[in-house]
Structure 1
């Protein structure tokens, strides 16, 4: 297994994909966090006035003590996590496109060993992307958020851990989507279209009917890992908000946390893990039967 993992790392490092994707990862994580960090003062002013102030008082929070820096980090890493998902698409679908999958399978004892080595390799890649994304988002947050509004030490660590977990899972999710569709271009287009547009439109359009879609669908649960940490800190997740909070007020507050409909960070992690395993298991099953000639 060690040799197979080493071969997978060599394979990914010989391609340009891993470093080319770092460019949009850094840009998105930095500028999204920078933009939201710059807006945190306005956010605190919003929370401290009007209907939002009444909600804050109802849940016993002082807006001046909100760790609003978490918002900047959550938005930055959540949008940037599409990058490792795209990277994951290339893991199997890219090999079929480049006709290297035959060598991969024939040089391994069996397909289970080959796929296990690939999974372990891409878990490491996902974790590395997560550390990089968090670091860039943290720098942008430090540059824009006042010191008394930055996360506490425990919240920094929680956000880092949540980012790494989310990036590992979205990388595996990308592998599953790419392998099931077996077409790189199609998988990337559908993945981006669904994550950026389709699911968000569904969540917003159906919010007045049901507010749980963001807490159970793939994009919402992926965002809800780090976004849920921010929501938990604000007590804005669906498990903490009092029943008398207006539905649209809940939407606005949870959108600010980057996780509309989120139940809690741990619930989001478990649900997205289930989504990841569904697609990854589908990819695993498909590649046990797929012809490589």
Structure 2
């Protein structure tokens, strides 16, 4: 049974990889990802170099985390466009007809989009480190442990956003509507929703802002860098300010929250796909 399940997903995954590789979408989004990371971390390196030798902080770690936060948005955009694009170009009918069941198709799209998101995170890290080191000469380079942890967490968050985008694109199916809805939510909607929650009298309600998908991703990514820069006592308050939340959980809990949102999006996408008439 396990072998059948693996084989049922392996073929759709290979097909999705070929689809992604044959289009300009993946590298079209990779270009702004690398440029944005270079600019953000170049500034981080310059700012680090401005500190006296005895007071230098690993600010490059913070600028790298900031860049990784933006990378998740690009990963989600790729997932949405790649998934909804099949409905726009009407190739989804052939995809479903040549695959045993619709669930493996969605799973394959989520897995491949997660892989693309992870690759975007790696590109962000590589270009960001090169830009930061070029700016400060490596004097403010962070320790290996926190750096690797930040890279790993940022890569996982970006991968999850890629998978979530694919699930959302499958559920909405209209490419323009899905893309606009996603960007409006991330850029405006979550800020407004978070502000409404933050304005509540109840501390429990205010704390819910930490569990919105975008905020949870930022909390996960910022957790370790902020602790390294500001210290364990100040870190929670600084994370609150950076993410715009109240009483944020630890980075592990925040990462789990993003994973749960991704799973929920996958469940909704799978249900919608299984009930949609694509003839």
Is TM-score (shorter-chain normalized) higher than 0.5? yes
Q: Secondary structure at the match of 2:243?
A: coil
Counterpart Cα distance in 2 of 1:65 and 1:208: 37
Structure 2 counterparts to residues 70-89 of structure 1, below 5 A:
70-89=61-80
Contact 1:228 1:268 in 2 (8 A): no
Aligned counterpart, 1:57: none
Structure 2 counterparts to residues 85-104 of structure 1, below 5 A:
85-104=76-95
Structure 2 counterparts to residues 143-292 of structure 1, below 5 A:
143-145=134-136, 147-203=138-194, 207=198, 209=200, 212-234=207-229, 241=234, 250=237, 253-254=238-239, 258-261=242-245, 262-292=248-278
Superposed CA offset, 1:78-131 (max 9, x none): 113211100000232111111010111111122122223223222222221221
Counterpart Cα distance in 1 of 2:243 and 2:226: 7
Q: Residues 115, 176 of structure 1: CA spacing in aligned structure 2 closer, same or farther, 3 A cutoff?
A: closer
Q: Residues 236, 292 of structure 1: CA spacing in aligned structure 2 closer, same or farther, 3 A cutoff?
A: farther
Counterpart Cα distance in 2 of 1:221 and 1:141: 26
Q: How many residues are matched?
A: 264
Deviation at 1:202, TM superposition (A): 4.6
Aligned counterpart, 1:111: 102
Contact 2:106 2:170 in 1 (8 A): no
- Which sections of structure 1, spanning at least 5 residues, go unmatched? 46-62
Counterpart Cα distance in 1 of 2:166 and 2:115: 14
Deviation at 1:199, TM superposition (A): 2.1
Q: Residues 40, 188 of structure 1: CA spacing in aligned structure 2 closer, same or farther, 3 A cutoff?
A: farther
Counterpart Cα distance in 2 of 1:204 and 1:34: 31
Deviation at 1:220, TM superposition (A): 0.8
Counterpart Cα distance in 1 of 2:136 and 2:211: 31
Per the normalisation by structure 2, the TM-score is 0.83
Alignment equivalent of 1:10, drawn from 18, 29, 38: 18
Counterpart Cα distance in 1 of 2:173 and 2:196: 31
Deviation at 1:40, TM superposition (A): 4.2
Contact 2:198 2:209 in 1 (8 A): no
Q: Secondary structure at the match of 2:81?
A: helix
Q: Secondary structure at the match of 1:121?
A: helix
Deviates more, 1:209-218 or 1:177-186: 209-218
CA RMSD after TM alignment: 2.7
Aligned counterpart, 2:60: 69
- Which sections of structure 2, spanning at least 5 residues, go unmatched? 1-6
Deviation at 1:148, TM superposition (A): 4.4
Contact 1:21 1:83 in 2 (8 A): yes
Per the normalisation by structure 1, the TM-score is 0.79
